């Protein structure tokens, strides 16, 4: 059975496939550059594992308190070496990216301190953590205040506003690398480094945390190479490589990471406790595979931007812009188009391909959200997925794909559903 026959069985027509191949023929040079970066990142991870003498004994499971867990400790040294930081906290007890960010913020902010976002409003789920939207146990409830400097209309940093927003109370600056559910540009490591340097020039003792979700291994450098005191992310996104079933990481200065460990477990215990429960092989192998998995996701994002932009849809980033994360936003203009797009992504999934994604309420969001994700790990957005809040401009956010070929199929099926519904024309 040939490929087109198998694709036809999935509902994919020849016209959409042909349009995809036409787009793909223009992307050879960009894909080659992605592979070159992936090779550098692969070598970086491999060297860190070799330096720390990882052996089969480091995959052993621990339970209970998890005392003397050498595999856990060496994994954290591997992360610290890859991110070029003094220390790292990498734990299955961190349930998601929002949890990792919450640990980092609450550990390094005290009552009376002020948190500053110089990049506008943070991602939806972090708004309740901070207390922008009231929530029990928010930072606001514990006496931490918040200020923000909005981005300029072109998506650039408003340095005058940032300087004015930094006060003697400003203890921590939080920078969100990826766009989240917004249509602003994501930031490059170079841009983040310039922003960090500016903030520290205004207040040298200020700490800077970067929400690195969706950005790991997109470049050959990370925000920690550009002066961040902490970089934070989720293991069911880029660095888990699709194998980590749960977890998050915080890499940074020894002082910041120590405080995070005390917040995650308890004062006086810190990193000494926390059983790995037998999932270290997935953490190690996922991290090893991550550069290649991220490369495939980047190819999928670039392919999606070029395909949909050729049909007249606004894409962020656009078809030719450099990539700073794995997320591709496409403004579809209607709820119906969002539903059709997500139906195509769901139909391409290896798990729950028969399900029909529909908008619904989600914890931490103030709009209904539609999500397509037939994933081996629930909520794993390094796997093929698409989602977005049902609100103007009706943008869908596509990301992931454990392999490039799977990402390609998902994008083509999303377009097929749009064409079938009269929502796009070839």
Are 253 and 85 a contacting pair, CB within 8 Å?
yes
Are 377 and 244 a contacting pair, CB within 8 Å?
yes
The CATH architecture to which 60-279 belongs is 3-Layer(aba) Sandwich (3.40)
Choice among 21-30, 122-131, 175-184, 346-355 with the minimum mean pLDDT = 175-184
Are 389 and 181 a contacting pair, CB within 8 Å?
yes
Strands 369-372, 385-389: pairing is antiparallel
Instruction: Confirm whether pTM is higher than 0.85.
Output: yes
Task: Say whether pLDDT at 367 is over 90.
Answer: no
Is residue 215 classed as helix, strand or coil in its secondary structure? coil
pLDDT cut 70: percent of the chain above it = 100
pLDDT value of residue 152:
95
pLDDT value of residue 364:
67
Averaged confidence pLDDT in the chain: 96
Query: In the 8-state DSSP scheme, what is residue 187?
Result: P
Kindly provide the b/e burial profile for residues 179-189, where b requires at least 16 CB atoms within 10 angstroms of the residue's own CB.
bbbbebbbbbb
pLDDT value of residue 124:
84
Q: Could you give the CA distance from residue 11 to residue 4 in angstroms, rounded to a whole number?
A: 10
Are 138 and 379 a contacting pair, CB within 8 Å?
no
What is the mean predicted confidence (pLDDT) over 222-227?
98
Q: What is the dihedral of CA 290, 295, 301, 302, to 10 degrees?
A: 170
Q: What is the pLDDT of residues 121-158, one digit of tens each?
A: 998 889 999 999 999 999 999 999 999 999 999 999 99
Q: Which of 367, 366, 347 is nearest to 357 (CA)?
A: 347
Q: Could you give the CA distance from residue 23 to residue 319 in angstroms, rounded to a whole number?
A: 11
Q: Which of 355, 405, 407 is nearest to 378 (CA)?
A: 355
Task: Say whether pLDDT at 60 is over 90.
Answer: yes
Q: What is the pLDDT of residues 291-334, one digit of tens each?
A: 999 999 999 999 999 999 999 999 999 999 999 999 999 999 99
**Class of domain 3-42+288-420 as given by CATH:** alpha beta
Q: Could you give the CA distance from residue 408 to residue 297 in angstroms, rounded to a whole number?
A: 9
Task: Say whether pLDDT at 347 is over 70.
Answer: yes
CA quadruple 55, 375, 238, 273: dihedral positive or negative? negative
* Top-confidence residue, 1 or 277: 277
pLDDT cut 90: percent of the chain above it = 95
Domain locations in the chain? Answer: 3-42+288-420, 60-279
Are 237 and 214 a contacting pair, CB within 8 Å?
yes
- The residues pairing with 10 across neighbouring beta strands, listed in sequence order, are none
pLDDT band at 193 (very low <50, low <70, confident <90, very high): very high
Task: Say whether pLDDT at 236 is over 80.
Answer: yes
């Amino acid at each position: 059975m040939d490929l087109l026959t198998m694709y036809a069985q999935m509902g994919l027509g020849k016209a959409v496939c042909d349009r995809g191949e036409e787009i793909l023929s223009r992307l050879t040079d960009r894909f080659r550059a992605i592979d070159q970066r992936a090779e550098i990142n692969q070598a970086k991870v491999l060297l860190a594992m070799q330096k720390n003498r990882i052996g089969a004994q480091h995959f052993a499971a621990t339970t209970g308190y998890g005392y003397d867990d050498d595999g856990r400790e060496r994994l954290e040294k591997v992360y610290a070496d890859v991110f070029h930081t003094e220390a790292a906290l990498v734990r299955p007890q961190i349930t998601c990216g929002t949890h990792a960010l919450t640990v980092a913020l609450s550990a390094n902010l005290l009552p009376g301190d002020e948190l500053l976002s110089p990049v506008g409003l943070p991602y939806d789920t972090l708004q309740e953590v901070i207390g922008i939207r009231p929530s029990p146990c928010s930072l606001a409830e514990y006496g931490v205040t918040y200020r923000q400097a909005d981005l300029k209309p072109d998506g650039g940093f408003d340095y005058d506003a940032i300087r004015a927003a930094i006060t003697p109370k400003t203890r921590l600056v939080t920078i969100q690398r990826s766009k989240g559910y917004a249509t602003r540009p994501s930031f490059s490591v170079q841009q983040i480094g310039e922003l960090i340097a500016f903030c520290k020039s205004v207040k040298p003792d200020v700490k800077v945390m970067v929400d690195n979700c969706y950005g790991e291994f997109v470049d050959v450098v990370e925000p920690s190479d550009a002066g961040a005191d902490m970089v934070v992310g989720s293991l069911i996104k880029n660095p888990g490589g699709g194998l980590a079933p749960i977890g998050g990481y915080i890499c940074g200065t020894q002082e910041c990471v120590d405080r995070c460990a005390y917040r995650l477990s308890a004062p006086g215990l810190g990193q000494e406790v926390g059983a790995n429960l037998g999932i270290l092989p997935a953490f190690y192998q996922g991290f090893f595979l991550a550069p290649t998995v991220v490369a495939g996701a980047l190819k999928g994002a670039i392919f999606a931007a070029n395909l949909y932009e050729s049909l007249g849809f606004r894409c962020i980033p656009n078809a030719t812009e450099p990539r700073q994360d794995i997320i591709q936003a496409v403004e579809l203009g209607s709820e119906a188009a969002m539903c059709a797009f997500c139906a195509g992504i769901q139909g391409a999934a290896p798990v729950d391909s028969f399900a029909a994604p529909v908008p619904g309420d989600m914890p931490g969001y103030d709009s209904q959200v539609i999500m397509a994700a037939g994933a081996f790990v629930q909520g794993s957005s390094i796997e093929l997925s698409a989602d977005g809040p049902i609100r103007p401009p009706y943008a869908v956010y596509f990301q992931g794909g454990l392999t490039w070929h799977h990402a390609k199929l998902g994008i083509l099926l999303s377009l097929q559903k749009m064409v079938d519904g009269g929502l796009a024309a070839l």
